[in-house]
Amino acid sequence: MYQPSRKLTCALLGAALALCANASHAKDCYFSCVSRDCLVIDDGESIGAIAGEAKQLQRCENVEIKTGPIELIVFSNGKTHLFGPLDKIENKVVAQVASLNDNNCSFGESDCREERDKLALQSANAGKPFDGAASAKPQGKPCRMGLPCGLVRRPSQSMHILLEDPAFNGTLSLTATRGASGSIEMPVKAGVVDIPNTKLFEPGASFSYTLADTQKRIVAVGKFSLASKTMEQDFAEEFADAKQTLKSDLLATLQALHANNFEWDAYQLTKPEGAKR
């Protein structure tokens, strides 16, 4: 009978522990420079930001401030935790951040978005729409690729989408499936697409979309819904509340976005534009 060696057992145990440890890192964590440009070391990587700018951190338990002050904000289990303004990260803060046991998946992480894609595919095979709305069956990994998914804020101007792949070129076709009618097709250039605000973007409306490459091959099919007018009011109120405690507008915006489940908007907001991508 095969007996695993002690070394192998330890290795497997170590791998399991590492997986567990990784799972607990799924926190949405951002920093913002309070009064001047700042610099932090995030898990060994140097990240600079200008005053008022907010950036996402990979490992908020492992942050070092080189130039402060900064505000640190952590979204965990549906709650917001604010630290700062800080000139240095004290052990007490590290312990507090580490103690935030988070079961939520962080939408900023590609693994989390990929999980959403899987769930969308599963749920598409079950249940029946109450009002008979025909919905496109998901294909590929739209959330993982950075395309809109879940609940999204109604764009005041155009809907600006940054894909994960900055080299992607093709076409995005958008069709209203409920609460609005019509469709639009827009080119995707260098991983960016702008959909002009037409009457398509009605509050509470749902959409399905198809992303095709330059060879017209379908790369992904997904869906999203726009916020209702009342949800937009909720957002405005949450933002006003957040501004009472946070100095950074961007962090206050992120807090209000998270409070209203606008995960995709929060994720897009902290993605770098253009050459920085």
Partner 1 sequence: MTPRPTGKFYSQQLCSLLLPLASTLLIGLLLPGCNASSINTAKSALFSSDETTPPSGASAGDLENTTFIPNPQAQAELLPDPSCKVPTEKFNVFEKAADYGGEKAVLRLKRLLDTNFKYSNLTPADKAFLKYLAYTTIWIPVELENKIGELYNSMQFNSKDEMTSRAVKRASARVDKLKAQAVDYPGTPRLLVLKSDSDSASARLGGLIVMGPSFLSLLDENPDAADLVYAHELSHIYKRHQIKEYQYQMLSSAEGFELAKKLLARDVAPNAIKNTKFVLITVPEVYNFVRKMHVQFTKDQESEADACSTVWMSKAGIDLTTAWTGFKKIQSTAGEGNQAYFAAHPLTEDREKNFIEAAKRQMQTEKK
Strand partners, 17: none
Among 76, 80, 177, 210, indicate the residue that binds partner 1 (CB under 8 A).
177
Q: Which is nearer to partner 1, 89 or 159 (CB)?
A: 159
Return the range that interacts with partner 1 (CB under 8 A); candidates 15-23, 43-51, 123-131, 188-196: 123-131
Q: How far apart are the first and last CA of the chain?
A: 54
The reply to whether 109 sits near partner 1 by the rule CB under 8 A is no
Q: Which is nearer to partner 1, 43 or 109 (CB)?
A: 109
Q: Tell the smallest beta-carbon distance from residue 46 to partner 1 (Å).
A: 32
Token output for 192:
């960016």
Q: Tell the smallest beta-carbon distance from residue 143 to partner 1 (Å).
A: 9
Query: Site for partner 1 (CB under 8 A): how many residues?
Result: 47
The reply to whether 223 sits near partner 1 by the rule CB under 8 A is yes
Among 47, 100, 124, 184, indicate the residue that binds partner 1 (CB under 8 A).
124
Q: Which is nearer to partner 1, 181 or 198 (CB)?
A: 181
Q: Tell the smallest beta-carbon distance from residue 178 to partner 1 (Å).
A: 5
Contacts of 273 (CB under 8 A, 6+ apart): 162
The reply to whether 36 sits near partner 1 by the rule CB under 8 A is no
Token output for 81:
């935790």
Give the length of the chain.
277
Among 5, 91, 131, 215, indicate the residue that binds partner 1 (CB under 8 A).
131
Which residues sit at the interface with partner 1, rule CB under 8 A?
78, 103-105, 116, 119-120, 123-124, 126-135, 149-151, 176-181, 203-206, 223-231, 234, 238, 259-261, 263
